[in-house]
Structure 1
Amino acid sequence: MTAPTRLRAADAAVVVGGSTGIGRGVADAWAARGIETHVFSRSRPAGPGADRLVWHRLDFRDADAAKEALRSGMPDRLGLVCYSAVYFTAKREPFLEADETDWLDQFDVNVHGLASTLRTTLPLLRATAPGLFLHISSEVVYNAGPNRAGYAASKAAAGSLVQSVSQETDPREVRFVQALPAGMVDTPGIRARRPQDFDYSGYMAPAAFAPLAAELARTRGAAEQGEALVVHPDGSWSSVGDGTPVSQSRPLATSPR
C-alpha cells in the first residue's frame, strides 16, 4: 500500500469554481488547514472565510482571457487542484427547445474549462509529486435523465476526460479523484432556479465536502486514486462502485390516455 503523503507547507491549492457551492466547501476546508488557497471564479468569494482565499477572476465563456487568468494566477508551488466550475441552464427543458448558446456554454465551462485547467496545472502538480487533482462530478454521469441533455452530456464528457488523463498519468506524479454529492446541494445556483418559498431542509450543504477535502489534503489521495466517490450529507463518502447514486431527474409527466 502507498504510504500517505502529507501536504508540504509551501505547496498551495487551487479551486476553479470555488467562490460558492461545493467548490467553496473544498476551498474553505483547505484554507482552514493553513494552505494558501487560490480561487478562480466569475464572482469574488464572500462571507465567513473569504478573507483566507486568494481570488482571481475567470470566466470560461471567454476562452482566451480564461487561459491567461489561469496562466498568470497560478502559485509557484501547487500541490492540490479542485475543478468545481459548472454551468447549467436556468431551467430544465427538452433538447429541441434548449437554447444553443446555453448548450455551448455548458461545454465551454464543464468540459473545455476542465481541459484548460488540466493543461495548466498538471505540469505544476508533477513538480510537487505526488500532486492531487479533484474533479467535482455529478450523478447525472451515471443516470442521465430527461430535460438535462446538455448537462448530462457535458458532465459525462468531463468524467471521461478525467478518467482518460488519469490512465495516462503515473500516480506517483499526480493522483486523480472524482467526487459527487449523494443528493441536491443548497447553492446559489440552485436557489436561482427555485421559488422563494422553497424548502431546502432536505438538501446537502457544501460543507459536507470538507471532510473529504481535508483527507485528500492530508494524503493526496493515496487510497482514493482513480476513484469516483459519493459524498453523503453527514460528510462521509463511499465509492460509486458500491452503489450508483440516486437520480435527481424528474420523470416526464404523462398525459392520460
Structure 2
Amino acid sequence: MTTAVVVGGSTGVGRGVADAWAAAGCRVLTLNRSRPVGPGAELLEHVEVDLAEPDAARVVLRSLPDEIDLLCYSAVYFTAGRAPLAETTERDWEAQWRINVHGLWLALHTLLPALRRAAPSVVLSISSEVVYNAGPMRAGYAATKAAARGLVESLAQEEDPDVVRVVQALPAQMVDSPGIRARRPDDFDYADYMTGDDFGPLARDLVERRAADLAGEVLVVDHGGAFRPLGDTLPTSQSRPAGVSA
C-alpha cells in the first residue's frame, strides 16, 4: 500500500491533499496538533506533533514508516493578523520561522531516507504567491515562505528525480481555512475563496503518475482544481494596501 504523510493535514490545503490521497487508497498519516474531524476523517491516521517543539517533533518523525511514498508539507503559521514590520512581535516572528521554515527542514531532513527507499517518491511543498509578490503588512510571512522556496528548490536540484521528485504548489486565490476564518469578521463572505478540495486533482495525479513530468516544477492550482506551471507569469497578489486590515 502507498504510504502518504501530510504535515499540517487536519485542515485547509493539507486536508484536501490528505482526503484525496486517502480516497485513492493510500495509507495517510496526518501530522498535527489537532485531530482531523468531519467527513473522511475516519480514513486518516492522526499522529500528534507540535513543530514548535523540534526535539519532540523529531522523535515523532523518526517513528514514521521506513518507506514513505508521498510527503506533503502544508503546516503554516500566519500570525493573528497582518501588521507592519514595526508592530510585529518577536514571538510571532520566531513562530513563523519555527513552523514555516524550520519545521519544513526538520520534516525533509528526517524523512529523506524513507522517501529514498520508496523511489520514486514525491515531496509536495505548499507554497504561496507571497513568495513572488511580497507585500505590505506581512513581512514575516513573505520572508519565511521565500526561505521555504529556496530550501525546497535546493532539495529538488540535489535529489535524483528518479528517486525523489520535488514539487511545489500554490493556490491561485485565498483558501478558506480555520486560520483565515480566525482573521476575518463573522459575516465575511467566502464564496469566492478556494478550498482544500481544489488541491484534490493534483494530489490524485501525484498518486497515479508519481510526478513523472513534474519534478522541480512550481504549480499554480486554480479554483476548481485545474493546475498549471507557474512559468514566467507572477501569480496574482493577495496583498491589500497598507493600512487595510486582513
Whether TM exceeds 0.5 here: the answer is: yes
Alignment: residue pair count: 244
Match of 1:17 in 2: 8
- Cα distance in structure 2, aligned partners of 1:18 and 1:53: 9
What is aligned with 1:82? Answer: 72
| Alpha-carbon distance in structure 1 between the residues aligned to 2:217 and 2:24 | 24
Instruction: Read off the aligned partner of 1:132 and give its amino acid letter.
Output: V
Aligned equivalents of 1:77, 1:67: Cα separation in 2: 17
TM-score by length of 1: 0.93
Helix, strand or coil: the match of 2:231? helix
- Determine if the alignment matches structure 1 residue 129 to structure 2 residue 119: yes
What do the CA deviations read for 1:68-118 (whole angstroms, capped 9, x no partner)?
11112x123210000000001111001111010110000000000000100
In structure 2, C-alpha distance between the alignment counterparts of 1:192 and 1:103, rounded to whole Å: 19
In 2 relative to 1, CA 242–70 (structure 1 residues): closer, same or farther, beyond 3 Å? same
Letter matched to residue 40 of structure 1 = L
Residue in structure 1 matched with residue 190 of structure 2 by the alignment: 200
Counterpart of 1:241 in 2: which secondary structure? coil
Deviates more, 1:44-53 or 1:243-252: 243-252
| Percent identity of equivalent pairs | 59
1:61 partner SS: coil
Indicate the residue corresponding to 1:39 in structure 2: 30
**1:57 paired residue among 38, 44, 48:** 48
Q: Which moved more, 1:63-72 or 1:21-30?
A: 63-72
Contact 1:176 1:227 in 2 (8 A): yes
* Cα shift at 1:223: 1.1
* Conservation of the 8 A alpha-carbon contact between 1:82 and 1:133: yes
Between 245-254 and 46-55, report the one with greater CA deviation: 245-254
- Contact 1:27/1:37 (8 A) holds in 2: yes
- The residue type equivalent to 1:249 in the other structure is S
Equivalent residue letter for 1:162 = V
Residues 136-215 of structure 1 aligned to structure 2 (within 5 Å)? 136-215=126-205
Which deviates further from its counterpart, 57-66 or 190-199? 57-66
2:84 aligns with: 94
d(CA) in 1 for partners of 2:153 and 2:54? Answer: 23
Q: Deviations over 1:120-164 (max 9, x none)?
A: 111111111111000000000000000100000000000110000
2:57 is matched with 66
**In 2, Cα distance between equivalents of 1:253 and 1:33:** 45
Mapped to 2, the partners of 1:119 and 1:180 lie a distance apart of 22
**Letter paired with 1:176:** V
CA contact (8 A) 1:11 1:77 kept: no
Please give the TM-score of this superposition, normalised by the length of structure 2. Answer: 0.97
Larger CA deviation: 119-128 vs 156-165? 119-128
What are structure 1's unaligned runs of at least 5 residues? 1-9
1:104 and 1:89 map into 2 onto residues whose CA distance is 11
In structure 2, the residue matched to 1:234 is 224
1: CA distance between counterparts of 2:131 and 2:116? 28
Which stretch of structure 1 is more off in the superposition, 194-203 or 59-68?
59-68
* Mapped partners of 2:78, 2:97: distance in 1: 10
Letter in 1 for 2:48: R
Moved over 6 A (4+): none
Q: Is the 8 A contact 2:65 2:114 kept in 1?
A: no
Name 2:21's counterpart in structure 1.
Answer: 30
Letter in structure 2 aligned against 1:135: S
C-alpha contact (below 8 Å) 2:123/2:167 kept by paired residues: yes
Q: Contact between 2:10 and 2:37, CA under 8 Å: does it hold in 1?
A: yes
